[in-house]
Structure 1
Amino acid sequence: MEKLQLWDRYKERLYVSRKMALSLDTSRIDFPGGFFTEMEPRLQKAYEAMALLEGGAIANPEEQRMVGHYWLRAPGLAPQRALTEEIEETVNRVKIFATSVHDGAIAAPGGKPFRNLLVVGIGGSALGPQFVADSLGTPSDPMRPYFFDNTDPDGMDKVLAEIGAGLDETLVVVISKSGGTKETRNGMLEAKAAFTARGLDFTKYAVAVTGLDSELDQTAVREGWIERFPMWDWVGGRTSVTSAVGLLPAALQGIDIGALLEGARICDEATRSTATRQNPAALLALSWYHATGGTGAKDMVILPYKDRLILFSRYLQQLIMESLGKELDLSGKTVHQGIAVYGNKGSTDQHAYVQQLREGVHNFFVTFIEVLKDRQGASPEMEPGATSGDYLSGFYQGTRAALYEKGRESLTITVDEVSAATVGSLIALYERAVGFYATLVNINAYHQPGVEAGKKAAGSVLKLQGEILALLGRRKGEDFTAEGCAAALGKPEEAETIFIILRHLAANPDHGVGVAYGDQLWDSRFRAK
């Protein structure tokens, strides 16, 4: 009887878009009676706020900026003709540039074709491009993508080792809006050092995606890089994947960016509907609000049953957590909003954390992502009447049922296949859902003051490191404990930070700092070698 009731609820709740080849099932979300009626006035305000945003209103009040990532898929919606023309021109330039690289018209010195692509960026300048590259890449792509997405030297060495002898056929795309993001700046300099060590002129391999007249833009102009593409202050990093940030790497890899943009555009059209039950982004936002109590009380677990979508949860971590994780609401009230996001992939989850999801602490809700098409072509039978893809579908259905039996709620998004169009639709769907949810809980989804605070703190640490090195250099022959160093600098309150800095300096040969370990680690003594 319960299964029949769930079937009836499934038919009542299922959202289907044939244009997007996507459906959304909220039947395993236990909305209380009257919930939709109660939330409808607030959703109508969210639709109004979104319409104003798309019309060019200052939707990011703290930074006094428009928020225009939806225009990237429909340039005619931009509030100024000049913006429309800029967007259209950039997409055309991306396509022309990628074709020229693939045809060999733009090549490495000596006419050697570019076969590899090294993308240097961080956050939104890496996560979106990485997700698109991993979900849509094939062995026949004209260029193979690699990423510097951190300032970890060993990580960059690993990538360079994978590129190996192919460095002289590697195009480098450096992505930074301000050009001052330290992780990206460091990645660029590390790449430049690697090219120089091979006797290669880095400027003949480099392309910039950045803001007009930024530090990076000025460097690219001064050094004569191959090309420059724009980033705009009205597109945030986490919503930039359908700008040159994501489109240029995708086009160079050989992905159909026209289909990606069209999928996003079609989803944008669907999610402009003010009829809530016909708006999949509104249904997602309502599900999040119900599942978390509108306070982030539960985590969002993303479980794609497709290997190609394993990076989707990492992409959504930034989109959702950076957008919704805010201390203050728009009225200045302390709210500590946010939804934590994590995920793996099915059916790997069956052998990992599904045990806790089913029987452990109940602090989450699940979004399953089902892909109907198993592979290109037919599949062999694993046993009579069952392929490996049939097993994957069975495991998804079994996990969904097992969780619901224990009162654990879930959503399911189903797409026909993983294609450029469906990836575009998924990106646009979650961008809109984040915007709606932010209005429901009255926060600014389009700034990130916590990220900026972290950058400032890192700058203070590096400044202190400079002072430590200057002290050790002036007083060669002396050794210092962390506390002694702090006292000598007149900063006794910084002893812990100084100790951490000294340990790192002593572990690496770059700065010439030695250590003599004490009986207690914090009593170790450091000196200039």
Structure 2
Amino acid sequence: MPEIKKAHEAMDVMRKTGVIHAHLSKDGTPEKVLFSQLPYIEEGNLNSPESIARLKKFGESARNRVDAVVSLGIGGSFLGNKVLFDVQCGSYWNLKTKEERNGYPKVFFSGNNIDPRSTKDLIDYISHAADMAMNHDKKNPHKYTVMLICISKSGGTLDTMSNFMVIYNALKDNPNVEIEIVAVTDPNEKKPTLLKKMAMENNWESFAVPDGIGGRFTIFCEVGLVLAAVTGFDIEAFLEGAKQMDIACQNDDIWQNPAMLNAALKYIAAEKYGRDEEVMMPYGDYLESVSMWYIQLLAESLGKQFDKDDKEVCYGRTPIVALGTRDMHSQTQQHQEGKLNKIVQFIRINEWDNDITIPNAFPEAQKLSDISGVTMGQALEVARQSNADALTSNKRFNALFSMPKLDAFNLGQLLYMLAMSIAYEGELANVDAFNQPGVEAYKRIMGPKLQEVKAQNK
């Protein structure tokens, strides 16, 4: 409890000043940590009334005008945006009519890998859609407007910028395509990054990747909210959910502070019981992206070779994505009987919109009749509860995060709680939860190797 109290005091200091003990930026200078400010829409904050109004105006400007948005980003700039897209839009968004999408554009993701096939497939699709819009839309022949949202703080991110250049170059000379570019980058205009300089010179609309917000926390700032705006996602409800969770996490009673309790239990599980793998297993298809987002949050924040005193500790847990019920038929054998080194976490939705009752479509088949008469949501929860009970019966640690509904407010609460849990555990483990020196290591190797390959191609 004394260590937990110290961690809580460190969170209070972070909220008030942005200071985290021993946290340095990648260039070795002190850097503030400002993610706990993001839920508060206030004058002078990163999310201000003016910035939210601008985002909403930006989203409205895309309605009934932009045909397709390509969101180009990697890390949190992809993973966070994908969460917001999945919860708001679902898998079949791009198959809906413009009217069914309430005038908002189709959305595609790129820049999260350097895959020539998928990038060419995207270019081919847009080119075909542009041809159809211009030559086969008899009611409204028009140029196909494509908005490229390029997200990179430096403007030099290999994965994102290579895709951006390939897609832009392939579409810019297509007479049926109208390209708009939006830059989400470092906002400093006095010492602009490459992407910011390009945005200023070409009059591209730009939004901020702010200082003090690591990529894995940017879902709560303009990096994530720009894409949210062009899908009609309720930005204010999302941030209000995060705000209400932050208020709860200011409680110094561990039993009333969900982030503190979550962090303490996981730290004890890891250090005392050797549970060094962490499975995130939501029950709901459109929450799988939450698991993908959480992988980065956990791995980059807590996977550290050295603690704040430069002692080698090699701390952290291996994150694993799972999905209920799908992976009950693949991973659960390992969870249930494999090594005693896992924490399995479930996310459930208490009340589903438009829940569907399973019909007795084949009454002559008794086994099928036995599973009819309940809703799909109820059946999903029975499966989850059965999984949890089985794990518990065999000394397998598991936890449940229960969402009242799948909406913007409750999503904001859940994601912020997970982010704050990571901040607490960083203090308990005495590691810097806000740097990522291991990522910088491969980047230093990658640059020269790329130049070697370029020289061979000449």
TM-score range, shorter chain: 0.7 to 0.9
1:192 aligns with 2:158: no
Q: Residue 118 of structure 2 corresponds to which residue in structure 1?
A: 155
Alignment of 1:62 onto 2:45: no
The percentage of counterpart residues that share the same residue type is 30
Q: CA deviation at 1:89?
A: 2.5
Alpha-carbon distance, 1:164 to partner: 4.8
Does the C-alpha gap of structure 1 residues 360 and 57 become closer, same or farther in structure 2, counting only changes over 3 Å? Answer: closer
Whole-Å separation in 1 of the counterparts to 2:232 and 2:274: 39
Per the TM alignment, residue 387 of structure 1 is displaced from its structure 2 partner at its CA by 2.5
Distance 1:467 1:385, change over 3 A: closer
State the partner residue of 1:171: 147
**What do the CA deviations read for 1:50-106 (whole angstroms, capped 9, x no partner)?**
111111243263221111112111144xxxx6x42774322221111111222x5xx
Q: Which moved more, 1:371-380 or 1:298-307?
A: 371-380
**Native 8 Å contact 2:358 2:373 kept in 1:** no
Give the match for residue 365 of structure 1.
343
CA distance in 2, matches of 1:61, 1:350: 40
Residue 422 of structure 1 is aligned with which of 407, 410, 418? 410
1:223 aligned partner: 202
The whole-number CA distance in structure 2 between the counterparts of 1:57 and 1:380 is 51
- SS of the aligned residue for 2:306 comes to coil
Cα separation, partners in 2 of 1:289 and 1:461, compared to 1, 3 Å? same
One-letter code aligned to 1:190: V
Please name the residue that 1:237 is paired with: 215
Unaligned residue ranges in structure 2 (runs of 5+): 94-99, 131-143, 361-368
SS in 1 for 2:313: coil
1:464 positional shift: 2.1
Partners of 2:275 and 2:46 lie apart in 1 by 44
AA matched with 1:170: V
- Tell me the SS of whatever aligns to 1:173: strand
Tell me, yes or no, if structure 1 residue 116 matches structure 2 residue 68: yes
Q: How does 1:241-320 map to 2 (within 5 A)?
A: 241-293=219-271, 297-320=275-298
1:391 aligned to which of 352, 369, 379 = 379
* Distance in 1 between residues matched to 2:159 and 2:450, nearest whole Å: 13
Match of 2:85 in 1: 133
Partner of 2:366: none
- Greater mean deviation of Cα atoms: 458-467 or 351-360: 458-467
**How many Å separate the matches in 2 of 1:312 and 1:66?**
26
Closer/same/farther in 2, CA of residues 385 and 92 from structure 1, 3 Å limit: same
Partner of residue 321, structure 2 = 343
**CA distance in 2: counterparts of 1:198 and 1:127, whole angstroms:** 30
- Partner amino acid, structure 1, of 2:106: R
TM-score by length of 2: 0.86
CA distance in 2, matches of 1:388, 1:57: 45
Give the aligned partner of residue 209 of structure 1: 184
Task: Give the Cα–Cα distance (whole angstroms) in 2 for the partners of residues 296 and 321 of structure 1.
Answer: 17
Deviation for aligned residue 1:214: 1.5
1:170-206 CA distances to partner (integer Å, 9 max, x unpaired)? 211111111121211112101211212423677x411
- Mapping of residues 31-42 of structure 1, within 5 Å: 40-42=1-3
Instruction: Report the Cα distance in structure 1 between the residues aligned to 2:16 and 2:311, rounded to whole angstroms.
Output: 27
Aligned to 1:72: 38
Matches of 1:283 and 1:378, distance apart in 2: 35
The structure-2 alpha-carbon separation of the partners of 1:273 and 1:162, relative to structure 1 and needing over 3 Å to count, comes to: farther
Tell me which residue corresponds to 1:520: none
Task: Describe the SS at the equivalent of 2:172.
Answer: helix
Q: Distance in 1 between matches of 2:396 and 2:151?
A: 41
What are the ranges of 5 or more consecutive residues in structure 1 without an aligned counterpart?
A: 1-39, 105-112, 471-529
Partner in structure 2 of residue 489 of structure 1: none
TM-score normalised by length of structure 1: 0.75
Aligned residue for 2:444?
Answer: 456
Give the whole-Å Cα distance in 1 for the aligned partners of 2:71 and 2:246. Answer: 28
Deviations 1:290-309 (CA, angstroms, capped at 9, x unpaired) = 22117975211111111110
8 Å CA contact retained: 2:275, 2:343: no
SS at structure 2 position matched to 1:361:
coil
Q: Helix, strand or coil for the counterpart of 2:199? A: helix
- Cross-structure match for 1:180: 156
1:240-268 alpha-carbon deviations (Å, 9 max, x no partner): 01111111101101111111111111111
Shift in Å at residue 393 of structure 1? 1.2
Q: CA deviation at 1:389?
A: 2.2
- Deviations for 1:370-392, whole angstroms, at most 9, x for unmatched residues? 11123325534354532222221
287-296 vs 347-356, greater mean Cα deviation: 287-296
User: 1:165 Cα deviation (Å)?
Assistant: 3.1
Contact 1:295-1:338 within 8 A present in 2 as well? no
Q: 1:434 is paired with a residue of what secondary structure? A: helix
Count of aligned positions: 415
Distance 1:86-1:394 versus aligned 2 partners, 3 A rule: closer
**Residue 105 (structure 2) pairs with residue 143 (structure 1):** yes
Matches within 5 A, 1:487-506: none
Measured in 2, the distance between the counterparts of 1:152 and 1:56 equals 42
